Amino acid sequence: MAEIEVNTMGVENPRILKLKCSVKNYDWGKLGNESTVARLYASNSGDEQIEDDRAYAEFWMGTHESGPSYALLVQGDGVVTNGDSEGEGGSDGCSLVSLKDWIGKNPSVLGDKVLRKWGANLPFLFKVLSVAKALSIQAHPDKKLAEVLHKQQPGVYKDDNHKPEMALALTEFEALCGFISLEELKSVLHNVPEIIEVVGSAYAEEILQASEQDGEKRLKEILQSLFTGLMSVSDAVVFEVISKLTSRLNLKREVRELTEKEELVLRLEKQYPGDIGVIVSFLFNYVKLNSGEALYLGANEPHAYIAGECVECMATSDNVVRAGLTPKDRDVQTLCSMLTYKQGFPKILSGVPSNPYTMKYSPPFDEFEVDRCIIPRETSIILPPSPGPSIFMVISGDGKMSIESSEEPITEGTVLFTPANAEVNIATISGLHLYRAGVNSRFFDEPAISPSNQQQHEK
């Protein structure tokens, strides 16, 4: 990474920036007013009507070019440098300027340490997801693989960054995440004969004879062979075996209650008939999050979101390697080769209180953390200054937010950017449910790394 000259002058009296944000209408999203994403986007834009028969899947807040946010700037208010007013016209005499461009001209709002590590850009991307049917079985590449994939297929892999992420449940939220334990896998092979029919008895026998004494490396090799064998079979074989699987489970339902995983498999088959992801889902942990619980995913870990609504935060990237439960392009070879093949149930975060109304969720990634604030009516709180920038997003309620030099009314769909080192005051009227995304607090406790040593540090 090239050395960056820090703009120490910055913006005089930096203000809160109100943001207009982007929506994604993927077909797995919830329809119309059933979608929290739709309601947030309509409120945030101020002039968008919700279409009842349209799927609203993701609400993006950040600087990624696939879904950029725009700052509402007022001429002469001290936030536009050099008299610039580029961008589309906004309401009430405002101009709309991309948040990325504005940060590029006012990089000191990121704080010195953030700027030196990630340059003049937000290192995190903030989203809300409304999931009606399963997303693809997928994984996100690490930094090294992302650089290779972006260079080879820039039309598919849009950037060269890694994409660790965290999903924080707004409602009950279902996901598949990571491979089940060895003992669970043995049970699956005993109870799901269709898997053995697809890959053959030799693969299955290796698993059934395996033990923890074989060592982590050997167990990963065996699991990789099984998974790759499943993912590589022909569509004709998959279709035939899934037909047998669904018929068997429907007959079983007449004599006993199906397990949660079996019920899930039948749901997935209705959404994606004839898809290998239906069978492969038996190999993954089935995770149910309650509201306020979070799940984080590192690079090269398989997962698929199934249903529900969540706040999501990640490194600024849109790189996805897909291989099942999707009509989109698949890259089976890359997915099977990149996975870590770790086994066991993922860690669930419940948050750590930072004040009576705020829970902090800090995954093991430098780029981001999330605060969940549920503040009762007619209450005021102060969030201490962070050395990095923040994006606040209001799910419901109303009130106002202020820093030293500016104040903004807030309500459902309000999204605000605050600069580094700003003490944030929040006062409610009817109460507020809001989220803050920012750089992980632990990052600021670590010793600074000089730009000349950055590349070596990341290896």
Please list the active-site residues.
Answer: 322
How far, in Å, CA of 236 to CA of 257, rounded?
Answer: 30
The long-range contacts involving 215-222, CB below 8 angstroms and separated by at least 24 positions, are 219/182, 219/341, 219/343, 220/340, 220/341, 220/342
- Residue 123 neighbours by CB under 8 Å, 6+ apart: 114, 117, 315, 316, 366, 367, 368, 439
Among 430, 360, 364, CA closest to 394: 430
Q: What is each CA distance from 168 to 128, 129, 199, 204, 290, in whole angstroms?
A: 9, 10, 36, 36, 9
- DSSP β-bridge partners for residue 126: 61, 313
Report helix, strand and coil shares of the chain as percent, to nearest 5.
35, 30, 35
- DSSP β-bridge partners for residue 23: 59
338, two tokens: 């990149």
Q: How many helices (H) and strands (E) does the chain have?
A: 14, 25
How far, in Å, CA of 199 to CA of 282, rounded?
Answer: 14
Q: Please answer whether residues 425 and 417 qualify as being in contact, where contact means their C-beta atoms are separated by less than 8 angstroms.
A: no
Strands of 52-147 (E only): list them.
Answer: 55-56, 58-61, 70-74, 88-89, 94-98, 124-131, 137-139
Q: Which residues of 17-55 are buried (b: 16+ CB within 10 A; e: fewer)?
A: bbbbbbbbeeebbbbeebbbbbbbbbbbeeeeebeeeeb
Among 63, 62, 297, 346, CA closest to 166: 297
Strand (E) or helix (H) holding 297: strand 294-297
Among 213, 228, 144, CA closest to 179: 228
